[in-house]
């Protein structure tokens, strides 16, 4: 049964919507863990980041927590979290604790996570279904936990028919809920986009021949944290010269040379939501002729994709439009030979443009949600129609590596232009244009260094 759409305004209303959906399937118990802590080395952990599905339903960001929803005669939302421990909190920071967490995050009740193995088996008795994030769980031992709780519950009842007899995956349901953002989510994403955009401007102004890639990464990280972002949304890509033709090049020791282009793909995460921006600019502040020719092609391709991003279009329409413009541009510049239709049909363009033009964006930088609609038949999986409230990136590019059949003037030119687009009722809104994209505006920003 499809999940009814709603204007989701808080974790409380999201939990209620999920409970309503659970009732439509006969009710039961949903068990949803957050992400575990990850060891970086020895007894040192990576900075903790909650699981997105769990946070979406709870707003709770501490580790070692579980959400339990009971869709029964009386619905319940239950949080299991770490109990208060004043001595340990001296070392690791103050915890909410069950009592304060229940009140602040509007749970019906909260328990110490130490009681998980005792209380969950009791909650399973008399329930028809067991729900969990089976295919997208961050908890590696989830199945082991679920099986153990069922075995414990079996020891408490004579008739196993009193226990859940069907396991159902919540992953797709939660993905559909998260795919359409509400006003509060969009406000957070706009704020994240604004922070990231200004960070890109500052990185442009800091760039110059002789500068290392990691220096620009430092500018970004400083700006993100200074303006309240808790983290990067993903490891920043800062790529100079030939490195710009490596799609996921991490900022390294490379030194920017006179005549290099610099590609930065970076965005902050603010209150659990990602931003994702890519800009490409000349290290010396002035595009060369060949660089400008390819840059303008990519910018025109982004505009073509933007024009196809609306509720009147399907998800892939923007990619198809961008491919048309990019391929024609490659033909015009002699990077490809033949006709437009031939170059597209044979995918010859993929030599220089090998990725798609966008992806969903939200709590995860490559956010959840199917790009396809339910199949009309066993053979068909049509692209899904866009709708207001969806957020996606628009990011065409061109990457030209040295090759015998490529004019040397284009060698090692890597260009990507990426913005975050909110689908509106009539089209889309680019929320990351706080950093310009027109070549003349980029050069003007860099002259103001």
Question: Is there a contact between 442 and 436 (Cβ–Cβ < 8 Å)?
Answer: yes
Q: Which of 62, 213, 395, 420 is catalytic?
A: 395
Q: Which of 418, 419, 420, 443 is catalytic?
A: 418
Question: Is there a contact between 121 and 152 (Cβ–Cβ < 8 Å)?
Answer: yes
Judge whether 433 counts as a catalytic residue: no
Question: Is there a contact between 196 and 188 (Cβ–Cβ < 8 Å)?
Answer: no
Judge whether 366 counts as a catalytic residue: yes
Q: How far is CA 199 from CA 281, 415, 448, in A?
A: 14, 19, 15
Q: How far is CA 142 from the centre of its chain?
A: 23
Q: Which of 42, 73, 248, 379 is catalytic?
A: 248
Question: What b/e readout covers 224-261, taking b as 16+ CB neighbours within 10 angstroms?
Answer: beebebeebbbebbbbbbbbbbeeebebeebebeeebb
Q: Which of 367, 399, 420, 443 is catalytic?
A: 399
Judge whether 117 counts as a catalytic residue: no
Collapse the DSSP code of 81 into the 3-class scheme (helix H, G, I; strand E, B; otherwise coil) and give the result.
strand
Q: What is the DSSP string of 125-171?
A: TT-SEEEE-TTS-S-TTHHHHHHHHHHHHHTT-S-GGGS--EEEE-H
In angstroms, the CA 329 to CA 413 distance is 15
Q: Which of 15, 200, 416, 419 is catalytic?
A: 416
Q: Which of 366, 372, 433, 447 is catalytic?
A: 366
Judge whether 104 counts as a catalytic residue: no
Judge whether 265 counts as a catalytic residue: yes
Q: How far is CA 333 from CA 286, 338, 397, in A?
A: 20, 12, 15
What count of Cα atoms within 13 Å lies in the side-chain half-sphere of residue 245? 13
Question: Beta strand 66-71 with 76-81: parallel, antiparallel or unpaired?
Answer: antiparallel
345 CB contacts (<8 Å, ≥6 apart)? none
Q: What is the DSSP string of 282-346?
A: ETTS---HHHHHHHHHHHHHHHHHHHT-STTSBTTHHHHHHHHHHHHHHHHTTSS-S-HHHHHHT
Report the catalytic residues: 43, 248, 265, 276, 355, 359, 366, 395, 399, 416, 418
């Amino acid at each position: 049964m499809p999940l009814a759409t709603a204007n989701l305004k808080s974790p409380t209303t999201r939990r209620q919507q999920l409970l309503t959906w659970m009732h439509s399937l006969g009710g039961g118990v949903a068990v949803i863990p957050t992400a575990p802590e990850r060891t970086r080395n020895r007894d040192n952990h990576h900075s903790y980041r909650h699981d997105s599905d769990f946070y979406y339903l709870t707003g709770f960001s501490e580790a070692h927590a579980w959400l339990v929803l009971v869709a029964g005669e009386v619905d319940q939302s239950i949080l299991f979290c770490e109990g208060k421990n004043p001595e340990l909190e001296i070392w690791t920071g103050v915890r909410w604790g069950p009592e304060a967490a229940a009140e602040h995050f509007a749970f019906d009740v909260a328990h110490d996570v130490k009681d998980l193995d005792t209380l969950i088996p009791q909650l399973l008795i008399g329930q028809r279904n067991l729900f969990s994030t089976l295919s997208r769980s961050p908890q590696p031992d989830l199945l082991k936990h679920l099986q153990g709780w069922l075995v414990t519950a079996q020891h408490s009842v004579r008739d196993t028919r009193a226990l859940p007899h069907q396991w159902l995956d919540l992953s797709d349901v939660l993905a559909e809920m998260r795919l359409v953002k509400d006003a509060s989510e969009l406000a957070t994403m706009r704020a994240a986009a604004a922070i990231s955009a200004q960070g890109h401007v500052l990185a442009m102004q800091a760039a110059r021949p002789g500068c290392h890639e990691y220096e620009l990464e430092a500018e970004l990280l400083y700006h993100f944290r200074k303006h309240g972002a808790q983290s990067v949304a993903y490891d920043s890509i800062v790529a100079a010269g030939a490195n710009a033709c490596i799609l996921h090049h991490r900022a390294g020791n490379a030194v920017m040379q006179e005549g290099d282009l610099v590609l930065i793909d970076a965005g902050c995460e603010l209150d659990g939501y990602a931003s994702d921006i890519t800009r490409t600019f000349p290290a010396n502040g002035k595009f060369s002729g060949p660089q400008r020719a390819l840059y303008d092609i990519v910018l025109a391709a982004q505009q073509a994709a933007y024009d196809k991003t609306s509720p009147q279009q399907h998800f892939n329409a923007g990619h198809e439009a961008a491919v048309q413009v990019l391929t024609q541009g490659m033909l015009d510049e002699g990077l490809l030979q033949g006709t437009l239709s031939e170059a597209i049909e044979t995918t010859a363009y993929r030599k220089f443009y090998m990725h798609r033009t966008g992806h969903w964006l939200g709590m995860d930088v490559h956010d959840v949600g199917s790009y396809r609609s339910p199949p009309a038949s066993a053979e068909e999986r049509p692209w899904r129609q866009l709708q207001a409230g969806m957020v996606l990136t628009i990011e065409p590019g061109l990457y030209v590596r040295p090759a015998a059949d490529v004019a040397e003037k284009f060698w090692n030119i890597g260009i990507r232009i990426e913005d975050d687009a909110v689908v509106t009722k009539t089209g889309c809104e680019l929320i990351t244009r706080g950093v310009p994209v027109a070549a003349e505006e980029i050069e003007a920003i860099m002259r103001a260094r």
